[in-house]
Amino acid sequence: MKTPSLLARRLHDRTERGDVPGWVMITVMTIIIASAILVTFQNRVTVFLESTLNEFM
């Protein structure tokens, strides 16, 4: 049974921390893209959201 020893080794080995820079980069890029879209099309987004919300209220 190699599985329990492999599991124990994986639980005690904390050198692998995951892909932190990857998800940070994706989060920052998403914020930048959303901000650029909002700044560029602010009037259209505002009109769209107001008209959509007025239909449901």
47 inside domain: yes
pLDDT over threshold 80, residue 37: yes
Provide the percentage of residues in the chain whose pLDDT is more than 70.
68
CA 5 – CA 8 distance, rounded (Å): 5
33 inside domain: yes
At 12 the pLDDT is 67
35 inside domain: yes
27 inside domain: yes
Listed in sequence order, the DSSP H helices in the chain are: 3-12, 20-40, 42-56
At 13 the pLDDT is 63
Overall average pLDDT of the 14-32 stretch = 82
39 inside domain: yes
Q: How many domains does the chain have?
A: 1
Domain range holding 38?
18-56
8 inside domain: no
